[in-house]
Structure 1
Amino acid sequence: MKTLAFILLILFFWFSASAQVVAIQCVKAPRMAYVGLDNPLKVAVDGYPGSALMVTVDNGGIDGSNGDYIFTPKYPSDSITIRVQVRTPTQIKEVQKIKVKLECFPIDSTTFMGHRSGFITAGQVRVAIGLDGNPQGFELTPHFHVTGFKVRVIRDGEEILSKSLSNRRGARFVDDEEVERVMSNINAGDSIIFTNITYLGYGECTGTMKSMEFVAN
């Protein structure tokens, strides 16, 4: 699962009569995280060892100890709350609660059978059609899949296929008989163009990616 770089964010929390300094190292930018991805987190509370920290989240899960954690928001929401407590011999003290904004991880492109554009063999196209599962031939970040695309095939200057496919669970060539037939019989020199490529990911994240154009050889 993709792990993201993080930026230091220093927060201050007043506890009792003294200043309690809490240092939180969060993802991408202050108070921001990505739904469905592993977000690194470092927490330090002045005056307490890492072993005394108790860090929880109200969306998804968090793993780690001694100040180093990975939290993974599971559900779409405007924000996730990170709660920091410390354990003492006599009690558990509340130190800080912060809200972290949740966003969908942006994906601007995908690959088809390992290629973004250029030449592709007719055999690779046929292999993609025969692949089990969704999607067929498109590769994305884990927990994301292609839900739709328009495919055009041009042979000797003539458009022999122009179809749009859409399936929330994963668009597949075999969902349409004409698409499956034409893509199964690609000839050398045929142009294959994918446009309007849409995706769905963890936390209901959606988007549209760049078009791709191939020439069969």
Structure 2
Amino acid sequence: MAGGKETPRQKMIGIMYLVLMAMLALNVSNTVLDAFKTVRDGLETSNENMNDRLKFIMTLFKNYYDNAPKKAEVNYNKAQEAKKIGDGLVAEIEKLKQELITETDGLDDNGDLKKRDDLGISHKELVEEKKADVLQGKINEAAKKLASLIGQTPKAIGLELQWPKTNKSTGTQQSWADYNFGEGKPLTSTITLLSKFQNDAKNAEAYVINKLYQETTGGGVVDSYRAVAVAKSSYILAGQTYEADVFLTAGSSNIQIDAKVNGSLLPNVGGVGKYKSGGTKEGVYKWTGTVSFKDPTSGEIKSFTTDPIEYQVARPSAVVSPDKMNVFYMGVANPVSVSAPGIAKEKLRVNVSGGSISGANGNYVVRVTGGSEATVTVSAEIEKGKTQVLGATKFRVKKVPDPIATFANKVSGRVALSTIKSTNRLEAELKDFDFDLKFTVTKFTVVFGKYRQDPIIMQSSDGSFTSDIKRIMGSLAAGDIVTFQNIEAYGEDKTTRKLENVVSVSAN
């Protein structure tokens, strides 16, 4: 049985059957017998799928008929007749299969034929008792009836019986029955071949009904299926629930659709609108799509709108954690930036133990006053009514380092005499520190070393140069030495520091 309308699957099945028969001729045993069952199972699954497809198409045809009975009546009745013919032929073949299976003790526990290697039953029942001739007549009759419904030939619908009329081995004429069910054919090959004839009948039936439906509606027959999964979000956090809708869509290559998003027409690829949007700005975005088509039944334009779809654009980021530098300094404003991929910054909740925190929308300031450690904890409402901790980071708490005292921007060395005389303050600076924290010198002792004179020692209790200190400064000569020690400073972190360094400069 072959025809110009054979599908690739039908051709493959036919080739596999011929290969298995050739292997049998070489006396290949159980492996080939197992292979026949595999092919037969595939054919029966294909037949079941085709039944589902035919039910669906007939439902569409019935709906069309209900809406336009005058237009559809003739072809709908033909489709019902086609279904009756096809189903009747399949039932006749199934009856013959069951007779052979019953005659040979049925099936085993694995669903295979108990006497699958029986080489005599097929020839006896089908050739000698002429049952194959009867089957041949029924197939030919069904093929002519089905083809006539759409004005075509049995070959055109893929249900014409073809076989080599001459046996190549003997050179004698052979019937269709001898070719398919002659001596030496095992039972398993016969049952498999009968399943193939059933598959051919279902395909011919579907071909005829599709043609009638297309002729009636001008197209619109369902000829494609697609499994679709739509997730509410492609990004979730641990603790959140991943949700998706999984369903089957059916379409027709004969129906042109217009898919739009926010009023803009989308490119159509294989009946699917392709939407793309550039993520140029961070934030949460929503969109809805509309699909429109011309109803082949009524001629009206129908439109369907999707549920709102949401997506979030986030800035690409990488997190680098300096494990040895996670430090909060006491008494200063420690800036902290907080973000969580997939969650809007305004939904974050940030807390700190061992200190206080202020700020919003990802930018915060932490202040600590003591202790050795502080922990920043970030949480968010990941679902309505459900708040989850996203993470916690520990920071060491340290005191701001002591400043360095300088005089005329120097800790030691030579300073121009004129600069010494014009400088009237001792400074305290934080060198190479990231925070702009200021310190003021509040106390010091100064020692003046003049050439061949005893040291002159003076003190300042408020950090300023007293009139006596200024007077001595003004009397210095080249080579004299000025030394500051016992220096104390007060900082904006509200701490007083006793500085360890000594400042010593000589007049130049």
Alpha-carbon RMSD across the aligned residues, in angstroms, is: 3.6
Partner of 2:506: 215
Greater gyration radius: 2
Which residue, 77, 82, 91 being the options, matches 2:376? 82
Partner of 2:404: 109
CA apart distance, 1:138 = 1.1
Mapping 1:61-76, distance limit 5 Å: 62-63=358-359, 65-66=361-362, 69=363, 71-73=365-367, 76=369
Say yes or no: does 1:140 pair with 2:432.
Answer: no
Change (3 A) 1:103 1:187: same
Quick check: 1:163–1:179 contact (8 Å CA) kept in 2? yes
CA apart distance, 1:173 = 1.3
Quick check: 2:403–2:428 contact (8 Å CA) kept in 1? no
Mapping 1:169-188, distance limit 5 Å: 171-174=463-466, 177-188=467-478
The alignment partner of 2:470 has SS state of: helix
TM-score normalized by the length of structure 2: 0.31
CA distance in 2, matches of 1:25, 1:159: 58
Further displaced range: 50-59 or 193-202? 50-59
CA apart distance, 1:193 = 1.0
- Structure 2 letter corresponding to 1:117: S
Change (3 A) 1:178 1:40: same
Which residue, 193, 196, 206 being the options, matches 2:483? 193
CA apart distance, 1:162 = 1.2
Mapping 1:1-217, distance limit 5 Å: 18=239, 25=321, 29-30=325-326, 32-45=327-340, 47-57=342-352, 59=355, 62-63=358-359, 65-66=361-362, 69=363, 71-73=365-367, 76-78=369-371, 80=374, 82-86=376-380, 90=384, 93=387, 95=389, 100-107=395-402, 109-129=404-424, 136-141=425-430, 142-167=437-462, 171-174=463-466, 177-201=467-491, 202-204=493-495, 206-217=497-508
Further displaced range: 38-47 or 158-167? 38-47
CA apart distance, 1:192 = 0.7
CA apart distance, 1:41 = 3.1
CA apart distance, 1:190 = 1.0
- Structure 1 letter corresponding to 2:331: G
- Structure 2 letter corresponding to 1:173: F
CA distance in 2, matches of 1:107, 1:145: 12
Change (3 A) 1:127 1:98: same
Q: Which has the higher contact order (CA 8 A, sep 6+)?
A: 1
CA distance in 1, matches of 2:320, 2:346: 16
The alignment partner of 1:105 has SS state of: coil
* C-alpha distance after superposition, 1:113-171 (max 9, x if no partner): 22221111233233322xxxxxx24142433222222211101142342123333xxx1
**How many residues are aligned here?**
183
- Structure 1 letter corresponding to 2:481: S
CA distance in 2, matches of 1:53, 1:140: 38
CA distance in 1, matches of 2:458, 2:386: 61
State, as a whole percentage, how many aligned pairs show the same letter. Answer: 21
- Structure 1 letter corresponding to 2:475: N
CA distance in 1, matches of 2:422, 2:357: 38
Change (3 A) 1:126 1:71: farther
- Unaligned 5+ segments in structure 2 are 1-237, 241-318, 431-436
Quick check: 2:403–2:439 contact (8 Å CA) kept in 1? no
Specify which structure has the higher proportion of helix. Answer: 2
TM-score normalized by the length of structure 1: 0.63
Quick check: 2:375–2:392 contact (8 Å CA) kept in 1? yes
CA distance in 2, matches of 1:115, 1:72: 34
Q: 4+ residue stretches of structure 1 with deviation over 6 A?
A: none
Quick check: 2:426–2:441 contact (8 Å CA) kept in 1? no
CA apart distance, 1:203 = 3.7
Change (3 A) 1:61 1:185: farther
Further displaced range: 86-95 or 115-124? 86-95
